[in-house]
Amino acid sequence: MLKRQATDTLLEKSRQYPVVAITGPRQSGKSTLARALFSNKPYVSLEDPDQRQFAIDDPRRFLGQFPEGAVLDEVQHCPELFSYLQSLVDSQSKMGLFILTGSQQFGLLSKITQSLAGRVGAVQLLPFTLHELQTANCAPHTVEELLFTGLYPPIYDRKIPATSWHNDYVMTYIERDVRQLINVQDLRTFHRFLQMCAARTGQILNLSSLANDCGITHNTAKAWISVLEASYIVCLLSPHHKNFNKRLIKSPKLYFYDTGLVCALLNIQNHTSLLSHPLRGALFETWAVSELVKNRFNQGLLSNLYFWRDSQGHEVDILLDQDNLLIPIEIKSGQTVTSDYFTGIQYWQGLNAVQSPAWLLYAGEQTQKRTVATVLSWKAIHLLSQSDK
């Protein structure tokens, strides 16, 4: 098994809390990681109809099978268990007793808040990071291959063609989970909604425009975006509100967690198409944002990423809110650094009395120090994660 960066965080939380919860999208490696790290515990998948029915009908007896705890997979299917888990872990006072995994924030995290607050350490596990693949010597060699293939584990573990795997993923997981969370009358309309969202990755979210293009209401678009967030398909990046006496953009930016999924939804056929594709810049920015979010989640932390844009169009792609410093990061998909790449950072620095380190991430090979910012190759994006500690 490829070593995950969340390993140390999970082991630490298992020493601090009686329950550890691993959430994330389907097929991100939650079950594999839980079973590997806690191989001494029995494993039960609550997607198994018999096990699920047992847990629903008789939760006390079901949990009574595991006096030393267990790994309970996809526990959002059995919300009845959470109150009984609370009583059980309170009576035993053991750390790392139960390891829970789940694929839906609505189903799992809301129940944790209600029933297991203070008793559970949570880690959100997304697909592989580039650095995890680099460490295992199986990373894509070019930016285009990386963006097209994406970073979901089965593509690398089972050598499944990226387009085939992503198309199956949309049908078998995303659309199935949507049926469980909301009543979608027409899956073709929802699939078109997914495609329209993919075409907007890296852009300011305009729900009215999105709804009109899909032939749905504004409220439906809002609800469907929430479902995609809950299923770890998309994330919304909020604008930073320190306004420097300027009027700022208030709407969030829309990003997908995986660029391979975006490419599949947009019917991009191969990685060479991305050399000149009009969404190349948005895809590269989407990948960079997802990498930085993964780093935070792997540490058991919430995202600290924002973007900044004023009403005149001045912008910085990412602001890291770290230790009372706002660290600006510009993301450029070109392979040659030009002076205009630094325009956004220079303008932002002119408004900010407190100077902080600045970074420019680009699709080239060389990392170098510049006066305005450190220029960082895409292959070294993990160095940005190290600055966020």
Choose among 343, 296, 294: nearest CA to 316. 343
The mean pLDDT value of the chain amounts to 91
Q: How confident is the model at residue 378 (pLDDT cuts 50, 70, 90)?
A: very high
Q: Which residue has the higher pLDDT, 105 or 107?
A: 105
Please give the pLDDT value at position 62: 96
Structure confidence by residue, pLDDT tens digits, 320-335:
998 878 999 999 999 9
Residue 106 has pLDDT above 60, yes or no: no
Residue 230 has pLDDT above 80, yes or no: yes
CA-to-CA distance for 180 and 104, rounded, in angstroms? 10
Structure confidence by residue, pLDDT tens digits, 257-278:
999 999 999 999 999 999 999 9
Residue 184 has pLDDT above 90, yes or no: no
Q: How confident is the model at residue 209 (pLDDT cuts 50, 70, 90)?
A: very high
Please give the pLDDT value at position 247: 59
Structure confidence by residue, pLDDT tens digits, 326-372:
999 999 999 999 999 999 999 999 988 777 899 999 999 999 999 99
DSSP conformation letters of 317-347? EEEEEETTEEEEEEEE--SS--GGGGHHHHH
Q: How confident is the model at residue 50 (pLDDT cuts 50, 70, 90)?
A: very high
Residue 242 has pLDDT above 70, yes or no: no
| Residue 265, helix vs strand vs coil | helix
- Percent of all residues in the chain with a pLDDT value above 70, rounded to a whole number: 94
Q: Which CATH class is domain 130-293?
A: mainly alpha
Distances (CA, A) of 173 to 4, 12, 169, 232: 23, 31, 5, 12
Query: What pairs with residue 122 in β-bridges?
Result: 21
The amino acid occupying position 151 is L
CA-to-CA distance for 212 and 205, rounded, in angstroms? 13
Choose among 16, 362, 335, 294: nearest CA to 150. 294
Q: How confident is the model at residue 154 (pLDDT cuts 50, 70, 90)?
A: very high
Query: In CATH terms, is domain 7-124 a member of 3.30.497.10?
Result: no
Residue 389 has pLDDT above 60, yes or no: no
Mean pLDDT of 14-27: 94
Q: How confident is the model at residue 37 (pLDDT cuts 50, 70, 90)?
A: very high
7-124 with 130-293: one CATH topology? no
CA-to-CA distance for 82 and 91, rounded, in angstroms? 14
Please give the pLDDT value at position 248: 65
Residue 14 has pLDDT above 80, yes or no: yes
Q: How confident is the model at residue 307 (pLDDT cuts 50, 70, 90)?
A: very high
List the chain domain ranges.
7-124, 130-293, 307-387
Residue 244 has pLDDT above 70, yes or no: no
